[in-house]
Chains A and B, each alone.
Chain A
Amino acid sequence: MQYLLLIYRNESYLTDMNAADRQKLAGEYGAYTQSIIQSGHFKAGDGLQPTTTATTVRVRDGKTMTTDGPFAETREQLGGYYLIEAKDIDDAIAIAARVPEAKRGSIEVRPVMIYK
């Protein structure tokens, strides 16, 4: 089965981080990504620019409206994702628990819909 791991964490700690810590986090992500490529779980994955760069789009009565920022103001923001192939939810939970920012933020595990 495929699962999307959505990485939510508080953005502000990232902006407050010093260069050395930021580099350390990047290194952890690099090692993690390599390990799930090697184990055959990795399908795709990206980090996202901060929510200050987000634009939310809605179409109402045929008119496109845009707003500055993310759809919802929450304590934790979406910061990246992995798309993985896993045997079952237990497998997916174990992989999600190893995402470097799982220690600080939270990882939402969502099964990907299969169209028949």
Chain B
Amino acid sequence: MIAATDIDKVFRDEAGRALATLIRLVGDFDLAEDALQDAFAVALERWSSGEPPDNPRAWLVNVGRNKAIDRIRRQAAFRGKQQALLHELALNAQGPDEPLAMLDDDMLRLIFTCCHPSFAAEVQVALTLRTVCGLSTAQVARAFLVGEDAMAQRLVRAKQKIRLAGIPYQVPESDALAPRLDGVLAVIYLVFTEGYVATSGTDLMRPDFAAEAIRLGRLLDRLMPDRAAIKGLLALMLLHDARRAGRETAAGDIVLLEEQDRSLWDRAQIEEGLALVDDALRVPGRPQPYVVQAAIAALHARAPSYAQTDWPQIAGLYEVLLRINPSPVIELNHAAAISMVDGPARALDLVDAISARGGLDGYEMLPAVRADLLRRLERKQEAREAYAAATGATQLEPLRRLYARRLREME
């Protein structure tokens, strides 16, 4: 006997991987998804009354394949199509037990297909959450703040594009691999950042998405070992997520890094992150942006307090990042670090220079960083104006409450 909740957990753990193999076997996303749903239905019935199989994934793939054959047969009988029958024979000819490496490759095929650059970034995220992570369409819809029907429509169109545009079910080779892997990591990081600081709504964090992104990171690190960028991203996510309990009060208010109770941080997760940063730094090759970001997060995680943080080294690492991956957002972070080394006046010069170039128009953290620097310089009137601008720029309630608190503190 096995409890329904345990069966749910098996489905959740194995859905992505079983689907990945079924897609390769049947050559069609929709058919594979339908067949896997059929297999889940059979599993629910059999496993709850008897013993679950030793290898649930292999079981699901086998039953799923048979269900796919049933579906093809029904279609063939209905339409009388020769081609469908040929397909069925090819399916039957494949052995039921595939080598493990082949199954790992299937998961990578699925990930690279969902993160194909011919999809818009948000479609890549939605497809990955739905198929690789096995979230329901309703859950994915909530992440994007759209209705379930609209999301279902978007996913249908994406799967249609896979078929009609000839998006291959494969891991890119040699030269193409590095840029495509960057794309996959960008999708994982998008899932994570949405979980870490939601871009809108009433909750500061959606831990489910952060956990999902970390799960994807671990999976990718296992499937493609010894890649610095993957280890760096996983470390970065683990280190940021480890501070989750300290970042928010019970009432949902933001606690800034400088005010956080560091005893609330998840030490075990920090240790795991620190070890990964060390591993990533040992991989030969050019410095990877995620690794440098993780190294910055590692310095924060190691510091006994905000004041005793190694700010000069953090500022130096931001300078490395600016060389390998220049962006106005990194410049802003660099300026914030400089404020702790050379003081807020020097940092304000840097921020105003970024702002004068116009590279961060509409970026909501720019007025927030300015406001903080002006407050520390005790230029109260300008700080008030900057906090008002920051409040207008964000859609996140906890940030608005933080700025309101700062304004009160200045009175």
**Residues 364-378 of chain B, each 1 if its beta carbon lies under 8 Å from chain A, else 0:** 000000000000000
- Is residue A89 within 8 Å, beta carbon to beta carbon, of the partner chain? yes
Are the CB atoms of A89 and B176 closer together than 8 Å? no
Most A CB within 10 A of own CB, among B164, B165, B166, B167: B166
Are the CB atoms of A88 and B118 closer together than 8 Å? no
Within 8 A of A (CB), among B169-188: 172, 176
- Is residue A111 within 8 Å, beta carbon to beta carbon, of the partner chain? yes
Within 8 A of B (CB), among A83-104: 86-90, 92-93
A89→B162 CA distance, assembly (Å): 9
Are the CB atoms of B168 and A90 closer together than 8 Å? yes
Majority secondary structure of chain B interface residues (helix, strand, loop or mixed): loop
Are the CB atoms of B165 and A89 closer together than 8 Å? yes
A2→B167 CA distance, assembly (Å): 13
Closest A residue by C-beta to B173: A90
Interface size on A (CB < 8 Å)? 11
Closest A residue by C-beta to B175: A94
- Is residue A1 within 8 Å, beta carbon to beta carbon, of the partner chain? yes
Are the CB atoms of B165 and A90 closer together than 8 Å? no
A-chain residues with CB within 8 Å of residue B164 when the two chains form the complex:
111
Closest A residue by C-beta to B163: A111
**Residues 1-13 of chain A, each 1 if its beta carbon lies under 8 Å from chain B, else 0:** 1010000000000
Within 8 A of A (CB), among B97-123: 116, 118
Within 8 A of A (CB), among B141-198: 164-168, 172, 176
Interface size on B (CB < 8 Å)? 9
A-chain residues with CB within 8 Å of residue B165 when the two chains form the complex:
89, 109, 111
Closest B residue by C-beta to A114: B164
A89→B164 CA distance, assembly (Å): 10
B-chain residues with CB within 8 Å of residue A3 when the two chains form the complex:
166
A86→B165 CA distance, assembly (Å): 11
A89→B167 CA distance, assembly (Å): 5
B348 → A minimal CB distance (Å)? 39
- The residue that B118 contacts in the complex, of A1, A86, A87, A93, with Cβ under 8 A, is A93
B-chain residues with CB within 8 Å of residue A111 when the two chains form the complex:
164-166
A25 → B minimal CB distance (Å)? 27
B116 → A minimal CB distance (Å)? 8
B-chain residues with CB within 8 Å of residue A86 when the two chains form the complex:
166
B-chain residues with CB within 8 Å of residue A89 when the two chains form the complex:
116, 118, 165-168
A88→B176 CA distance, assembly (Å): 14
Within 8 A of A (CB), among B216-267: none
B-chain residues with CB within 8 Å of residue A109 when the two chains form the complex:
165
Going nearest first, the 7 A-B pairs with the smallest beta carbon separation are: A88-B168, A88-B166, A1-B166, A89-B166, A111-B165, A89-B165, A89-B167
Q: List 6 A-B contacts (CB under 8 A).
A: A87-B166, A87-B168, A89-B165, A89-B167, A89-B168, A90-B168
For the A-B complex with A89-B166, A111-B165 known, give 10 more contacts whose Cβ atoms are closer than 8 Å: A87-B166, A87-B168, A88-B166, A88-B167, A89-B168, A90-B168, A90-B172, A92-B166, A93-B118, A109-B165
